[in-house]
A and B are shown apart, each in its own frame.
Chain A
């Protein structure tokens, strides 16, 4: 006897968490924190997407990925189809799936997020890219016929890689010039291994090389060759060199051994693999008590790197309160879980050192929040007489970066703003110098990977128009 039953009401699927390493374990190793979705988890999460006709998530994506489209393909188990669709708009999906601030972009706008947790778009993007890389064939997207036009891309960071990936698909001949000995820019030297494994960066760059992009490392444009010399050999030049100038606190004692800019600390740890000293030759001060100054994503990276290098105490010292921390909430959460201590409303006054010039402590002043300032945030006001000393042997200064003048100073005809950043049309990336485009941090000042990629996308569209139509 068959019993007729009504189809049960479709059960609501909760947002699928990504399995990850336990905080106390991962805080002591450099392996990636989350393991990623299994195909089953990914397909289950993909089911949560309701395939909006007018998807708002897509509006939140600086590179306009067809989000419902690639998710639908995952849901159907067509993982190769999903990566092909992603590649149409994004040449670095494994990177973006990991480091984009989805909560304020695609996922922040997801309609499901109104009443429930939004669809885990970032996790799904990461899954599609990882699955292809690990299990898929070596597939490539279709490429246009060669145009005979040559483009030089200066800087192999997120902006430059995006420009290269876009334009090579349109048939142009692309050469990337990178100052360091490996491509990736901040993806390589800045973002730590445990957030973005360097093997993945290498593979994303390798994907571009398989598409025909040439990458010349150890090429410091501005020194080894000037932009004007590139213009003799190339039809167009894109400048995506990053901000690249460390900012110090400008307090006494910054010369002590153990005081690092975040750029130096992370470059030693990531690019030079100093965490694996002496197997790698580059050393780093493996501090027992480390303070990272600043409250952004880079500061969280510094504080978490310190733990992995063996710190017993890793502090974040930030002058405003928890609510004003500029880092992504996920990064703050990860840092807190791993045991990073936050000394908030705290302003450093000076570093103290011993006779050998080694850092021993930092003297700080407590602050309280006063009236809102020009930015609308409540201004921290020092509390007189509240000085106190924190014993530290390593300091990581992570309060932003400035514009590195190495390239801009050697390039006549570029217009710079008062902070030394390149003036470029925000819609096209065109600079004041003919046939030269710019994008990313060297235009906007320190921002995110995806914003640099968005700027790269706008510039590559404009460069393609110029090469095709002459404007």
Chain B
């Protein structure tokens, strides 16, 4: 078992952070890489990009949003409990180098994935602009950490409860407009956000990295489930990615494939919710 040593609920309990004991993975992991987790014997293999590591303590950090049965099951795991399987580090690490000025854009739990990359780029000596966003103030995560890892941070909320009212693309565009020296954009978040960020950066000719999250099974390049079309070529996100050139990704295809099991996921989640509903089960 891979024990959870620290657990935190964020964004009103919709987002969970776990620090997990996995010394071998912690020793090797680099920003941009992911792990696959399975809660129990009947569980799915869920890929999650690591939000942080602490090699000295042998810990890795994952931050996930509760969106279905598997993540709801993860949420039930408390400190002292843990995951049956954690596999990694998987995927290619982010290529971190000094390019001058960079802009890091994150939305939702994408900020968790973006943070170690932002920190890495800053440590390399880049000037780092960051734009982070959420639907609402209460749902925004890792603001302090992103501030520590950036030179300038801009905040956006869809409902205007905090920072700029609007999408991260607004601030991205504004920044690219005022600073023509930006050489690299890293955009991580929901598919529509990454797609529109890539559209904006393409107008300005700024190289753009995105981190893709297609459905996976083994995570070692064996099954081809995570195939994405990048630059007209079939790529496997688990071994060739998860980061790709955002201007080359076939977003429509990724979006379709992410919806492969919508119906099944609902069946599974409904069953889970019924079994975990508060109150006495015999009354149902």
Spell out A's residues near B (CB within 8 Å). Answer: 179-181, 189, 217-218, 220, 223-225, 244-246, 248, 254-255, 257, 260-261, 263-264, 267-268, 272-273, 277-283, 285, 356-357, 404-406
| 14 CB < 8 A contacts A-B | A180-B218, A218-B86, A218-B87, A223-B28, A225-B24, A255-B253, A272-B44, A282-B44, A283-B261, A283-B268, A405-B221, A406-B220, A406-B221, A406-B239
Chain B residues with CB under 8 Å of A280's CB are 42
| Minimum distance in angstroms from B101 CB to a CB of chain A | 32
In the assembled complex, the Cα of A267 lies from the Cα of B229 at a distance in Å of 23
Which one, B44, B90, B223, contacts A220 given CB within 8 A?
Answer: B90
Using CB atoms, name the residue of chain A closest to B256. Answer: A357
Q: Which of A179, A254, A279, A282 contacts B220 (CB 8 A)?
A: A179
The docked-state distance in angstroms from the alpha carbon of A248 to that of B229 is 13
Q: CA separation between A180 and B217, bound complex, in Å?
A: 10
A255-B229, A281-B70, A281-B268 known; A356-B218 Cβ under 8 A: no
Contact, CB under 8 Å: A264 / B38: no
Q: Which of B73, B85, B225, B265 has the most CB of A within 10 A?
A: B225
B67 within 8 A of A: no
Q: Closest Cβ of chain B: how far from A207's Cβ, in Å?
A: 21
Contact of A217 among B44, B85, B222, B259 (CB under 8 A): B85
CB nearest to B252 among chain A residues: A357
Please, how many angstroms separate the alpha-carbon atoms of A137 and B222 in the complex?
38
Q: Which residues of B contact A217 (CB under 8 A)?
A: 85
Residues of chain B within 8 A (CB-CB) of A261 are 223-225
Assuming the contacts A181-B84, A281-B42, asked whether A220 and B225 have C-beta atoms less than 8 A apart, the reply is no
Contact B234 A248, beta carbon cutoff 8 Å: yes
Is A248 in contact with B264, judged by CB distance below 8 angstroms?
Answer: no
Q: Which of A224, A273, A279 neighbours the largest number of chain B CB atoms within 10 Å of its CB?
A: A224
* Contact present for B256 and A257 (CB under 8 Å): yes
Q: Is the interface of A mostly helix, strand, loop or mixed?
A: loop
A218 to B43, CA, bound (A): 15
CB distance from A344 to the nearest CB of B (A): 26
Q: Which 4 A-B pairs have the closest CB atoms?
A: A357-B256, A283-B264, A264-B223, A246-B224
Contact A223 B88 (CB under 8 A): yes
Apart from the given pairs A248-B224, A267-B223, A357-B257, 10 other A-B contacts in the complex at a CB distance below 8 Å: A181-B84, A218-B85, A220-B90, A220-B220, A225-B28, A244-B220, A245-B221, A257-B256, A268-B217, A278-B267
- Determine whether the beta carbon of A181 is less than 8 Å from that of B85: yes
The answer to whether B45 has its CB under 8 Å from any CB of chain A is yes
CA distance A180 to B222 in the complex (A): 11
In angstroms, how far is the closest chain A Cβ from the Cβ of B5?
19
Once A218-B87, A257-B256, A406-B239 are accepted as A-B contacts, the answer to whether A246 and B223 lie under 8 Å apart by CB is yes
Contact B87 A255 (CB under 8 A): no
Q: What residues make up the interface of B, taking CB atoms closer than 8 Å to A? A: 24-25, 28, 38, 42-45, 69-70, 73, 84-90, 217-218, 220-225, 227, 229, 234, 239, 253, 256-257, 259-261, 264-265, 267-268, 271
**Closest chain A residue to B69 by CB distance?**
A281
Bound: A405/B24 CA distance, A: 22
Query: Which residues in B have their C-beta under 8 angstroms from that of A268?
Result: 217
In Å, the complex CA distance between A279 and B223 comes to 22
Given A179-B87, A217-B85, A223-B88, verify A278-B268 contact (CB < 8 Å). Answer: yes
Shortest Cβ distance from B55 into chain A, in angstroms?
14
Q: Are A272 and B259 in contact (CB under 8 A)?
A: no
Given contacts A223-B28, A282-B44, contact A267 B90 (CB under 8 A): no
Q: Is A267 in contact with B222, judged by CB distance below 8 angstroms?
A: yes
B residues near A254, Cβ cutoff 8 Å: 227, 234
**Are A244 and B85 in touch, CB under 8 angstroms?**
no
Residues of B within 8 A of A406 (CB): 220-221, 239
Closest to A181 in B: B85
Question: Are B221 and A267 neighbours in the complex by a CB distance under 8 Å?
Answer: no
- Given the complex, which residues of B lie within 8 Å of A224, measured CB to CB? 24-25, 28, 87-89
Chain B residues closer than 8 Å to A357, beta-carbon distance: 253, 256-257, 259
